Amino acid sequence: MRRSIKIERYDQPAGGWGSVKSLMRHIPGNGVAFSGPPILAKQNKPEGFSCVSCAWAKPARPHAAEFCENGAKATAWELTSSRTTPEFFARHTVSELLEWSDHDLEAEGRLTHPMRYDPTSDRYVPVTWDEAFAEIGGELRRLRSHDPKSAVFYTSGRASLETSYAYQLMARLYGNNNLPDSSNMCHESTSVGLKASIGVPVGTVHLDDFNKTDAIFFFGQNVGSNSPRMLHDLQEASRRGVPIVTFNPLPERGLIEFVNPQSPVEMLTNNATRISSDYHKVRAGGDIAAIAGIAKALVALDDEAKAQGAKEVLDWPFIEQHTHGALEFIAWVRDLAWDDIERNSGLERQGLEEAAAVYARADRVILIYGMGLTQHRLGVENVRMLVNLALLRGNVGKLGAGLCPVRGHSNVQGQRTVGIADNPDLVPLDRLGEQHGFEPPRERGLDTIATCEGVIDGSVRAFIGLGGNFVRAVPDKSRIEPAWRKLDLSVQIATKLNRSHLVTGKTTFLLPCLGRIEIDRQRTGPQAVTIEDSLTCIHASRGQREPASPHLLSELKIVAEIAKASLPANPQVDWDAWVDDYSLVRDAIEQTFPDDFADFNRRMWEPGGFPRPLAARGRVWETDSGKANFLVPDDLDASFAKDAGEGVMRLITLRSNDQFNTTVYGYHDRFRGVDGTRDVLFMNRKDIDRLGLRDGGTATLVTAVDDGSDRRLGGLRIVEYDIPEGCCGAYYPEANVLIPLDHHARESHVPAAKSVPVRIEAG
Ligand SMILES: Nc1nc2c(c(=O)[nH]1)N[C@H]1C(S)=C(S)[C@@H](COP(=O)(O)OP(=O)(O)OC[C@H]3O[C@@H](n4cnc5c(=O)[nH]c(N)nc54)[C@H](O)[C@@H]3O)O[C@H]1N2
Ligand SMILES: Nc1nc2c(c(=O)[nH]1)N[C@H]1C(S)=C(S)[C@@H](COP(=O)(O)OP(=O)(O)OC[C@H]3O[C@@H](n4cnc5c(=O)[nH]c(N)nc54)[C@H](O)[C@@H]3O)O[C@H]1N2
Ligand SMILES: [Mo]
């Protein structure tokens, strides 16, 4: 379908009438069975359902409408009245569907029947659930007898704690820790980085801290599109006069100003609240240098204060009592040259000194971050560097202060909490084994990158996907897709059709499941599930809508049936009882993780959720040194583009305001002024001129890596944009073809999606 394209600078606040208009495009008339208010009124409420979009906290005292533009879009997308039926699959071959866009595939609506791929007709054909489970079980049993490590169990971060717990148990009973999940492409740099620095793999901030903070430092997260409900917390902080100091290469509207669409007064007067008080357009990959500059300026302020007999700027009592490695870190910072800091960060000394002055004046600082830090070669070091900054003034384990990684999928953090981890050290395997009567595998499993490598080299034979769009979300499409076709078994548990379902293996099943908004009826009645939000609070969620099709099964039921069909009988795991009554799974979770889940079945109903205990909040450091660690990075530049040579640009892969990961709701990136297309390349005016290109002209991106693969993405319309020189931006997942598989964060293996080295060719 041809769409008319409009590119126009957008300078309205986030929220406001723009969000209402954007929402209306996705509600009635659009094939959406959506009686707006009644269902939305239950969103993120104690007795309602947890939003299927982002993981931001759900307050104990919710607003009348506790949803945002994008949360409402996600709800509408799941509740669509369109259906992807067996008749649809009869009309279209898989080869034909492979030519469809991500948007058009999912826009066909909810999957209704279990389907099996038939290579002879190149079509999906209906299959009964019993046949599907029997065949999947047979194939998994056969593979297990050769090599129990040849199957992989992927999760996208949406499945509930109950399903996730059952799923990790299935993988371990099968005989491996091959549990990659979407966080391997996302906040794994956080899990690795924070664990080494402060002894917990998650953020330390609770919602209440926002009311007490004196300053917020905000790195590489696009709140306006990706966690809009957080804008309420930022707005309240801003109104109290709290400075918000932002580091982001792009002028993201949600980080600039906000009109609360739920406030009639603000809407009528268009009275916007400023969000960022200072905005530093750091170069992609330049955060280590930027933070080093702030730290250097803080050390200088501390020296000055000492010389004048004034109050010290660094929190020395905290540093001495609670940290390790401070002196080495401070010595490293002192030795850095401002020239190097400026060149690597793309920022000027004066701006960094001003940021340091704001930081020094505030007693309690919250440090927020997202993919702009984690998706780099030095993504883990980026996270540690932010911790170093926090530790200099004791901003961990103090009311109103702490680290706040903003998680992606609504339960991605919780999945890790209940054992979805390729690293078995993170799971109490002894207890798990004793509880369920087996000897858990101890060898490290495959993460997302290792899974891709295993698919390419043929050692991975089977892939089970609990949600998500693996093939589309990972790097290096041109290498992954052909290799995928050699898999013996590909099983995709999903709500909507996507590209991963079309890149088939030798045997391929597409199994449709209930979404979280739907009523999940089992033998003991409708079931509730639980999820953990970004701020480590665990909530109940109860489905509200009739299922999209009578043939759907719950995710837990599907996992249980696959487990029963593929594993040897085990009298200590009663899968059927778990499916009948999910509270029994919660009892099992409580038994495996007694500290986190004490009294789980009762506390899940607490308004606002119940927080997991976090040692670092109480300044107990579960690290190697027993202290919070200052860790010195070995490079100021976090990116792969560092040594890529003359003329190489840093490509930032971006989400639009009209997508949730690979789910493309539409073609309108309102905040960046792009309408009708996703095939754009954001460039700085000077780079456009220097390369002899033209605003509105067409360009091809070519990955600047000489490894024998030609990676390119053409047909992009050049859009002049306020982006640092030497950086450019294009949308994910389209740009994933450009990312080499081995370009990932060194320690966490998160693909380095925020500064891909590219050359730009005209045409
Ligand atoms: N509506 C909606 N909500 C979502 C999602 C969605 O796709 N749509 N996705 C969900 C998921 S899974 C996740 S992980 C989160 C993702 O949410 P974010 O963490 O916000 O991820 P991105 O949208 O990739 O944007 C990262 C931001 O980092 C900036 N950036 C890029 N490179 C750098 C850098 O080197 N340094 C700094 N300081 N900044 C940089 C970019 O300009 C951008 O503003 O959102 C979740 N919520
Ligand atoms: N270049 C680049 N690549 C990236 C990123 C980037 O910023 N740049 N971001 C990365 C990040 S942060 C992430 S998290 C990954 C995302 O990777 P994934 O989590 O694998 O992908 P999603 O797009 O979230 O998955 C969407 C699909 O999930 C299915 N689904 C939706 N709801 C449900 C449900 O309730 N149950 C089940 N079973 N299925 C459901 C639907 O079929 C839908 O098509 O992508 C990563 N890839
Ligand atoms: Mo994510």
Q: What are phi and psi of 155, to 5 degrees?
A: -130, 135
Average pLDDT over residues 587-615: 96
159 CA from centroid of ligand 1 (Å): 21
Average pLDDT over residues 206-217: 96
Ligand 2: residues within 6 Å at CB?
106, 156, 158, 182, 185-186, 371, 375, 408-409, 466-470, 473, 493-496, 498, 513, 515-516, 555, 653, 661-663, 732-733, 735-736, 739, 753
Ligand number with the minimum distance to the CA of 754: 1
User: For the chain, how big is the Rg over CA atoms in Å?
Assistant: 25
Residue minimizing CA distance to atom 8 of ligand 1? 660
What does the pLDDT look like over 448-500, one tens digit per residue? 999 999 999 999 999 999 999 999 999 999 999 999 999 999 999 999 999 99
307 CA from centroid of ligand 1 (Å): 42
157 CA from centroid of ligand 3 (Å): 8
Residue 22: the pLDDT is: 80
375 CA from centroid of ligand 1 (Å): 9
381 CA from centroid of ligand 2 (Å): 25
CA of 250, closest atom in ligand 1 = 42
Six-digit token pair at 563?
A: 């487990």
Average pLDDT over residues 20-48: 68
Q: With CA atoms as reference, report the closest residue to 103 among 73, 72, 125, 124.
A: 73
Please, which pLDDT band fits residue 575 given cuts at 50, 70 and 90?
A: very high
Residue 1: the pLDDT is: 58
760 CA from centroid of ligand 2 (Å): 28
C-alpha–C-alpha distance, residues 671 and 251, integer Å: 9
Please, which pLDDT band fits residue 33 given cuts at 50, 70 and 90?
A: very low
Dihedral sign of CA atoms 538, 539, 540, 543 in order: negative
Average pLDDT over residues 586-610: 96
Pocket mutation for ligand 1, best pick of 371, 416, 722 (most atoms within 8 Å of C-beta): 371
Residue 44: the pLDDT is: 82
Residue 15: the pLDDT is: 84
Please, which pLDDT band fits residue 429 given cuts at 50, 70 and 90?
A: very high
* CA 619, chain centre distance (Å): 27
Task: Using the predicted structure, report yes or no on whether residue 303 has a pLDDT greater than 50.
Answer: yes
CA of 406, closest atom in ligand 1 = 19
468 CA from centroid of ligand 2 (Å): 4
Task: Using the predicted structure, report yes or no on whether residue 35 has a pLDDT greater than 50.
Answer: no
Ligand 1: residues within 6 Å at CB?
53-54, 70, 186, 219-222, 225-227, 247-250, 252, 282, 284-285, 287, 370-372, 406, 408-409, 652, 654-655, 659-661, 754
Please, which pLDDT band fits residue 32 given cuts at 50, 70 and 90?
A: very low
63 CA from centroid of ligand 2 (Å): 28
CA of 654, closest atom in ligand 2 = 7
Residue 2: the pLDDT is: 66
Residue 48: the pLDDT is: 86
Residue 27: the pLDDT is: 64
What does the pLDDT look like over 54-102, one tens digit per residue? 888 888 888 777 778 888 889 999 999 999 999 999 999 999 999 999 9
What does the pLDDT look like over 615-663, one tens digit per residue? 999 999 999 999 999 999 999 999 998 878 888 999 999 999 999 999 9
CA of 492, closest atom in ligand 2 = 38
SS3 state at 381: helix
C-alpha–C-alpha distance, residues 473 and 104, integer Å: 17
What does the pLDDT look like over 360-389, one tens digit per residue? 999 999 999 999 999 999 999 999 999 999
| DSSP per-residue string spanning 587-654 | HHHHHHSTTTSTTHHHHTTSTT-EEPP-GGGGT---STTSSEEP---S-S--SGGGGS-TT-EEEEEE
661 CA from centroid of ligand 3 (Å): 8
What does the pLDDT look like over 524-544, one tens digit per residue? 999 999 999 989 999 999 999
Please, which pLDDT band fits residue 17 given cuts at 50, 70 and 90?
A: confident
Please, which pLDDT band fits residue 252 given cuts at 50, 70 and 90?
A: very high
Ligand number with the minimum distance to the CA of 469: 2
Residue 53: the pLDDT is: 86
Residues with CB under 5 A from ligand 3 (ion): 186, 408
548 CA from centroid of ligand 3 (Å): 26
C-alpha–C-alpha distance, residues 14 and 18, integer Å: 7
pLDDT > 70: percent of the chain:
98
Please, which pLDDT band fits residue 31 given cuts at 50, 70 and 90?
A: very low
Residue 678: the pLDDT is: 98
Dihedral sign of CA atoms 542, 548, 553, 556 in order: negative
Residue 37: the pLDDT is: 53
What does the pLDDT look like over 136-158, one tens digit per residue? 999 999 999 999 999 999 999 99
Residue minimizing CA distance to atom 3 of ligand 1? 226
Ligand number with the minimum distance to the CA of 160: 2
What does the pLDDT look like over 494-529, one tens digit per residue? 999 999 999 999 999 999 999 999 999 999 999 999
User: What average pLDDT is seen over the chain?
Assistant: 95
* CB contact set of 264 (below 8 Å; sequence gap of 6+): none
Q: How far is CA 429 from CA 145, 171, 172, 585, in A?
A: 23, 13, 9, 17
Ligand number with the minimum distance to the CA of 729: 1
Helix, strand, coil shares, percent, the chain, to 5: 40, 20, 45
Residue 66: the pLDDT is: 76
CA of 285, closest atom in ligand 1 = 35
Residue 708: the pLDDT is: 93
Task: Using the predicted structure, report yes or no on whether residue 26 has a pLDDT greater than 80.
Answer: no
- H helices within 213-369, ranges in order? 223-226, 230-239, 264-269, 287-307, 316-322, 326-335, 338-345, 349-361
Residue the block writes with tokens 């009762």 = 602
Six-digit token pair at 717?
A: 């319309």
Task: Using the predicted structure, report yes or no on whether residue 278 has a pLDDT greater than 90.
Answer: yes
Average pLDDT over residues 654-675: 95
